[in-house]
Amino acid sequence: MESGGGTAQERKGAAMVELALVLLPLVAIWAALADFSFAIFLKATFQHAVREGVRYAVTSRTEPGMGHDASIKTVVQRHAMGFLNGPEGASKIHIRYYVPGTFAETQSNAGGNIVEVSIENYRWNWMAPVLRGNASPLMLVVRSSDRMEMPPGGISPAR
């Protein structure tokens, strides 16, 4: 007479079903954890990159052979850990200047104006679309701004 409520074969089958019922949700949770962790990492990386771009912009410095805006984009790309490489990545970086007080957008990068550096519409597809079906990609937008310092000699660099 066997104890345990069934044959050895039946107990093996029940163990396999239990494993499947436990393992599938566990793997889904791990995948979701990895996805959300990477999304947070990506947003923090981009926030750091635009802050560095603004820090560079307010000093009115330029990279050799480049204008002010191209230099700022280069600095942002350098700090984005490779996620914004190439012309496609540079097209996601936006630089805007505003007049203090009215916050009207201007084309002038003169000292005293406000510079805003942003990364807009960066599409990131989920790594593990477990249980998400037709999950839409994550669209990231980050921005940072500060007041421009007066440039050396009072002459702003060419944009």
pLDDT in tens, the chain (159 residues): 455 567 877 777 888 888 889 998 888 888 889 889 999 999 999 999 999 999 999 999 999 999 999 999 999 999 999 999 999 999 999 999 999 999 999 999 999 999 999 999 999 988 776 555 667 888 999 999 999 999 888 889 999
Report CA-CA distances (Å) from 87 to 14, 71, 77, 93, 128.
56, 14, 10, 10, 27
Tell me how far apart the alpha carbons of residues 63 and 67 are, in angstroms, rounded to a whole number. Answer: 7
Query: What does the pLDDT read at residue 78?
Result: 97
Which one-letter DSSP state was computed for residue 14? H
pTM of the predicted structure, to 2 decimals:
0.83
* 49 token code pair: 């990159």
Which one-letter DSSP state was computed for residue 127? S
Query: What does the pLDDT read at residue 31?
Result: 83
The Cα angle at residue 104 between residues 99 and 105, in degrees rounded to 5? 85
